[in-house]
Chains A and B, each alone.
Chain A
C-alpha cells in the first residue's frame, strides 16, 4: 500500500518514513499541505499520515480538503499530534480524520494503527471487488442472474448449519458464513475465459468441448490467486480463490481440475459444489428442463460420499425446507414433478 506522509520537520519525516518502509509500505513524502494535496489528487494514496501543525496549511485543513474532493475510493487519514484533550480530538474528527497518532511516533503504535487502517480500507475494496467480479461473472453466465442469488443463499444455509454443529462450532463462525455468502457468486468467474461457442452452446458439449469448459475452474482460481497474493491480508480473496478452484472437485477424488479427495477439498468448495449442483438440477438449462426438489434430492443422495461430502449432504437434508423456500422465491419457473422428470429422462434415454 502506498502511504503519503506529510510533515514539515525533515527529521520527523525521515524517522516516520523509515518505520513505514520497515513495515513494508511504499512511502511518499510531502513537507507541506499544498504539496500533499497535489499528491492526494493523483489518486495513488489511500492512506495519509499528516502532522497537525504545519505552516501555510495545517494537517486539519489538509484533512478537510481531502474529504471535500471527489475520489474513487476512501482515503484513510491519520493525524499526527502531540495535542491531547477532548476538544482537540473532536476538532480532528470533525475535520474528517480517522485516527490520531501521538508524537513522537512509537513504532509499535504506528504498526497497530496501520493495521486498523488496512483492515478498514480492505473492507471497502472487498465489497467493491466482489460486486464487480460477480457482475462480470453474471454477464458471461448463460444462466439467469438469479442463479448467483440462489447459490449464495444455499451456501449460507449449509454453512450456518455446519457452524452450529459440534465438529465445527469452534472453527466456523459468522464471519466465515458471511464471507462464503459474499464470495460464492464468484465460483464461475473463470467462465469469462471460455469461448462463446463452448460456453453458450445450446445442447450438450462434446468431450473436447467439455475439456475446454473444465478450464473455467483453473482460470477463475488463478485469477483470484493472483489477487490474493497481491493482498495477502484479504481473506475473502483466499476463500473466493478456493471456491473457484475447487467447486467441481468430488469427494471421492473423481472431480476436476486437481482430483482432490475428501477434506483436501476446501470446505467452501465442498459447500458450493452441492449448492451449484442442486441449483443446476432444479432450474431449466438449455440442455435440460428443471427437475423437482425430490428428483434433485435423490440425485444428491446418490452422490453422497462420492460427489458430495456426507457432512454437507446431511446439512442439506436437515435444511430441505429452506432450500425449497429459496428455490421458490428466486426461481422464475416452476420445476417438473417427479413423474414429469421421469418422463423426460425416459425420453432422453430413448
Chain B
C-alpha cells in the first residue's frame, strides 16, 4: 500500500503539504569495547546521540557519586543492612553501565553475585577489585580525556 500511496501523494500537488523534514542523520552504533576497558567513550557519546557536553556531564556526575556509593556498600555490609545493600549495588552497576564503564560494570555485577550467593569472601575480594577498577578508571580518563571534568 505504501508504494501506491507515495505515488498518489506525488500526483496530488496542491492537496497536501510537505511532510516535516527528517532530523539530521546520527552516527551508527560503534563496536563495544572489551569487558576490561575502563571507559568506552565512543559508546557513551553514541548513547548521548553525539552530545559531548551531556557525556561530560554524565561522567562528572558518575565520578562524584561512585566513591560514595562504594563506601556506603561497604558500610551496609558491615551493618548487615541487606535491603540497602542490594539497592546500592544495583545502583552502582546501573550507573557504571550508564556511562559505558565496562570494567566497573563487571565488578559491580560480581559484587551483586557475591551478595546473592552469600559469599563473604568473594564480596570482600570484589570490593577490593572495585577500588582497583575505580583507580584504573580515573587514570584512564585522565590519560585519554584530560579535558573532561571529573
> Per a CB cutoff under 8 Å, which of B7, B58, B61, B94 touches A103?
B94
Complex: how many Å from CA A134 to CA B1?
A: 23
Are A235's CB and B98's CB within 8 A? no
CA gap between A225 and B19 in the complex, in Å = 12
Query: Contact flags (1/0) for A12-27 with B, using CB distance below 8 Å?
Result: 1011001100101000
Chain A 133-169 interface 0/1 with B at a Cβ cutoff of 8 Å (1 = within): 0000000000000000000000000000000000010
Q: Chain A: which residue is nearest B65 at the CB level? A: A11
Residues of B within 8 A of A53 (CB): 87, 90, 94
Instruction: Choose, from A121-129, A172-180, A205-213, the stretch at the interface.
Output: A172-180
Q: Which of B3, B8, B46, B54 contacts A170 (CB 8 A)?
A: B3
Segment touching A, from B10-18, B125-133, B140-148: B10-18
Residue of chain A at shortest CB distance from B93? A82
Q: Quick one: CB contact mask for A89-120 with B, threshold 8 Å, 1 for yes? A: 00000000000000111111000000000000
Q: Which chain B residues border A170 with CB–CB below 8 Å?
A: 3
- Beyond A106-B29, A175-B1, whether A232 also contacts B20 by CB under 8 A is yes
Q: What residues of A have a CB within 8 angstroms of the CB of B16 in the complex?
A: 225
Complexed CA–CA distance, A173 and B5 (Å): 11
> Complex Cα distance A320/B46, Å?
60
B49 CB, nearest partner CB in chain A, Å: 5
Contact of A171 among B7, B12, B91 (CB under 8 A): B7
Contacts of A10 in B (CB 8 A): 61
Q: Are B8 and A242 closer than 8 Å at their CB atoms?
A: yes
Number of interface residues of A (CB under 8 A): 44
Q: Is the CB–CB distance between B98 and A11 below 8 Å?
A: yes
Taking the complex as formed, is B114 at the interface, i.e. its CB lies under 8 A from any CB of chain A? Answer: no
Interface of chain A residues 1 through 50 with chain B (CB within 8 A) = 8-12, 14-15, 18-19, 22, 24
Complex contact B90–A267 (CB within 8 A): no
**Closest B-chain residue to A108, C-beta based?**
B29
Confirm or deny: A131 has a beta carbon within 8 angstroms of a beta carbon on chain B: no
* Distance between B86 CB and nearest chain A CB, rounded to angstroms: 9
Most central of A82, A225, A229, A232 by chain B CB within 10 Å: A82
Whether B116 sits at the interface, judged by CB under 8 Å, is no
The interface residues of chain B lying within 8 Å CB-to-CB of A192 are: none
A8 (CB) vs chain B CBs: closest residue = B91
Q: Are A104 and B100 in contact (CB under 8 A)?
A: yes
Q: What A residues does B17 contact at CB under 8 A?
A: 229
Q: Is the CB of A238 closer than 8 A to any CB of chain B? A: yes
Alpha-carbon distance A107/B45, docked complex (angstroms): 11
Chain A nearest CB from B101 CB (Å) reads 10
Q: Nearest chain A CB to B69's CB is how many angstroms away? A: 11
Is the C-beta of A256 less than 8 angstroms from some C-beta in chain B? no
A104 to B40: give the CA distance in the assembly, Å.
13
Alpha-carbon distance between A238 and B8 when the two chains are bound, in angstroms: 11
Residues of chain B from 33 to 82 with CB closer than 8 A to chain A in the complex: 46-49, 51, 54, 57-58, 61-62
Q: Kindly provide the distance from the CB of B91 to the nearest chain A CB, expressed in whole angstroms.
A: 7
Query: Could you tell me the distance between the alpha carbons of A49 and B7 in the complex, rounded to whole angstroms?
Result: 37
Is B15's CB under 8 angstroms from A172's CB?
no
* Beta-carbon contact of B29 and A18 below 8 Å: no
5 contacts between A and B (CB under 8 A): A11-B61, A12-B95, A55-B87, A103-B98, A238-B5
